[in-house]
Amino acid sequence: MLLTAGLLASASARAETSVAVDVATGKVLSQNDPSARWYPASTTKLMTAYLAMQAIESGKFKPDAPVVMTRRAAQELPSKMGYPPGSVMRLDYALRMMLVKSANDIAVAIGQTIADGSLEGFVQMMNDEAARLGMKDSHFINPNGMPGDGQYSSAKDLAILAIALKRDFPTYSDFFSTEAFISGKAVIKNYNPMLGRYDGADGMKTGYICAGGYNLVASATRNGRSVVAVVLGAIGPISRARTAAELLENGFKAQPAADAPTVYQLPVSSGPAADVSDQICSAEGRKARAAESADSSEDTDEQAFGSPYLHDIGRPRVAIKLGLGGAAGTDTIEAGITLIAAYGIPVPIPRPAQPDDALHAAEAAAAAASAAASAKAAIAEKSAPPASEAAPVRSAADLGVTRRGIPIPRFAERATN
């Protein structure tokens, strides 16, 4: 249900699919094919954040619980923090890194932490939670939104997720509005173009892959009222910011119609996710983004990205310091460390006793005894002189005596010759 035909035309001209929703009532303020299945890209990380915050609120984990950069997580493609395997950080720090930097490696490390080391288990948790929240056009295969068969969502479902985050975890609202963080000597800025540029903007997440285009889940609050806008498949980062700002602005100017459906009542789609790679990553797509950039090259303090609803930040971004270390200890992880020594190298474990160990021991002892006897015999044989050198055996007659030692008489000696 659209507020006006003009609003629909201006929004749909620059976005493949979109929706704006009043957070308090769930009423749809505007929509453009909101149930179409789409590659969510890094907006997927909103579900990862939801499960992590849920784990903290339930008491299963504390904010300073250790998150380890596993070898599996470290293999993820950018955007990433690039920490080496075995690096250790606090869970709350990891969440901010993931949301600001859109770090794919951190998302996987968080997922493995929450699911007790099982990435597959965490993905199952994501899909179970999506079903519970009513996200009927969503299915996840990883915690970070990297493209793959079976990874899809919709503007409708991402709006449902954004509302759930704001409703269920209000104390974590600043996690989504963090403008930047300091890591070592680097200042890492949030990819969300709305923060500091749109009045009242307070989150949430961007996303981009060729197949899904430029995505944005944006939220803003003015005078106690919150509106969420989702834009999927924009041709570039500037157009997604313009469209989101327009959707939010028109949403604040209107009140939900009495007969407007809630976001939960929108129809369910089917089939695979749309693939807009040809439009986004083609030569035409690059030309369109270049044209957008040229159009906004003369932005002023009062206007940014060529939108009357966006303005220049006009100040340094508010940055917080994040990094490795500072986590609580566990049975296997020392408190406060930044890197686990010899991470991934297995510790030798004694072989457990086997039922036939006694038989094998007896056979081994017999074999050893036999080998020793053979070796002894070989040594004795080697040390014995050759037969030709042996002393001749002499008889009693040879010695000139009888067997009892009595001298033999000469006549007897003659008789023997």
Q: Half-sphere exposure of 339 toward its Cβ, with a 13 Å CA cutoff?
A: 6
Please identify which of the residues 27, 45, 136, 166 carries the catalytic annotation. Answer: 45
**45 has catalytic annotation:** yes
CA-nearest of 194, 136, 192, 203 to 169 is 203
Please identify which of the residues 30, 35, 79, 102 carries the catalytic annotation. Answer: 102
Q: Per the omega criterion (within 30 degrees of 0), is the bond before 204 cis? A: yes
Which residues have a Cβ under 8 Å from the Cβ of 63 and sit 6 or more positions away?
Answer: 56, 90, 91, 92
Rg of the chain in Å (alpha carbons): 40
**42 has catalytic annotation:** yes
335-363: b (≥16 Cβ within 10 Å) or e: eebebbeeeeeeeeeeeeeeeeeeeeeee
Whole-angstrom distance, CA of residue 179 vs CA of residue 135:
28
Q: Half-sphere exposure of 229 toward its Cβ, with a 13 Å CA cutoff?
A: 27
Whether the CB-CB separation of 140 and 62 falls below 8 Å is answered with: no
Residue with tokens 């036999």: 370
Which residues have a Cβ under 8 Å from the Cβ of 403 and sit 6 or more positions away?
Answer: 396
Please identify which of the residues 18, 30, 42, 226 carries the catalytic annotation. Answer: 42
**79 has catalytic annotation:** no
What are the catalytic residues? Answer: 42, 45, 102
